[in-house]
Amino acid sequence: MRCDYHTHTTYSDGSFLSWMVSAAERARLDAIGITDHCTISAREGPRRQRANMGFNLDVTYERRRSAIEAMRERRDIEIHDGVEMDFHPDDSGEIAAFLDEVGFDYAIGSVHELDGTNVHSEDHFAEQSAAARRSHVATYFDRLVTLVESELFDVAAHIDLVERNSALRGLATDEQYRRVAEAFADSRTVPELNAGRVRSEYGEVHPTPQFTEILLEEGIEFVLGTDSHEPKEIEPRKAELETFTATHDVETTTLSL
């Protein structure tokens, strides 16, 4: 593994930039992509969430860019100025204008919002019927396909995020996986092999082996991301990604930056 394309710093919900870069060097990576969360939606829900959480890369990206530029001069590792954008189909126009204006090195797109809340929210989905939960999973994949077809992003992150939520886990269908695979085949956007929860209760990379197999049948290549928020996460997650790619014959690719 040469580059970790997905990490967070204190510009969203991660650790100090210098700590993350040092950890990437210790993990013997050649490059690290800094991809803090960014929500630019004017819709009420995301606006409130952004205010609650304090994520505001939309207004701090210039400050972070200066910090990255200064750090590049002191370090041997390549440091990429990236972003993990919240994607919702209703926000496509605003996202396009924002990315065009800011000019990150690359952009990751993520579907984090489902049924007006975060996909991770266990309680919200656990109290709903099986039919309702299946319908939310279908909506998740509809939004993911729209994300891929939008061509707004270089990378689509953790493409079966619903698996992280025990109330939504196991409800996705092969047909949904195939639709996503076909969308990737026609798009510049590549999926990410994501190790964000590989050493937690969920214990798997995204996508699942079954979904990965369907993507590989379609000839899809992946970029690798640890989705680390703390320095100590980078090295073990890198090892997990290397093991998964080797054991599942995953084709990896690099972004031209």
User: Which amino acid is present at 102?
Assistant: V
The two three-digit tokens of residue 144, written as one number: 């993911």
- Please select the residue that binds Zn ion; options are 110, 189, 226, 228, rule is CB under 5 A: 110
Over the window 222 to 251, marking each residue x when it contacts Zn ion by CB under 5 A and - when it does not, the resulting string is -----x------------------------
User: How many Cβ atoms sit within 10 Å of the Cβ of residue 160?
Assistant: 26
Position 194 contacts Zn ion (CB under 5 A): no
CB nearer Zn ion, residue 1 or residue 86: 86
End-to-end CA distance of the chain: 17
The two three-digit tokens of residue 71, written as one number: 């750090």
Alpha-carbon span 9 to 35, nearest angstrom:
8
Over the window 61 to 100, marking each residue x when it contacts Zn ion by CB under 5 A and - when it does not, the resulting string is -----------------------x----------------
CB nearer Zn ion, residue 41 or residue 110: 110
User: How many Cβ atoms sit within 10 Å of the Cβ of residue 218?
Assistant: 14
Q: How far is the CB of 227 from Zn ion (least distance, A)?
A: 4
Q: Which of 200, 11, 6 is nearest to 120 (CA)?
A: 200
Candidates 60-68, 103-111, 119-127, 199-207 — which segment interacts with Zn ion by CB under 5 A? 103-111
Q: Which of 122, 130, 123, 190 is nearest to 159 (CA)?
A: 190
The size of the interface with Zn ion (CB under 5 A), counted in residues, is: 3
Hey, which residues does 36 pair with through a beta bridge? 83
Q: How far is the CB of 130 from Zn ion (least distance, A)?
A: 26
Q: How far is the CB of 76 from Zn ion (least distance, A)?
A: 25
Candidates 70-78, 108-116, 128-136, 210-218 — which segment interacts with Zn ion by CB under 5 A? 108-116
Q: How far is the CB of 14 from Zn ion (least distance, A)?
A: 8
Q: How far is the CB of 13 from Zn ion (least distance, A)?
A: 8
Please check whether residue 211 is in contact with residue 218, taking contact to mean a CB–CB distance below 8 angstroms: no
Alpha-carbon span 29 to 11, nearest angstrom:
22
Site for Zn ion, rule CB under 5 A: 84, 110, 227
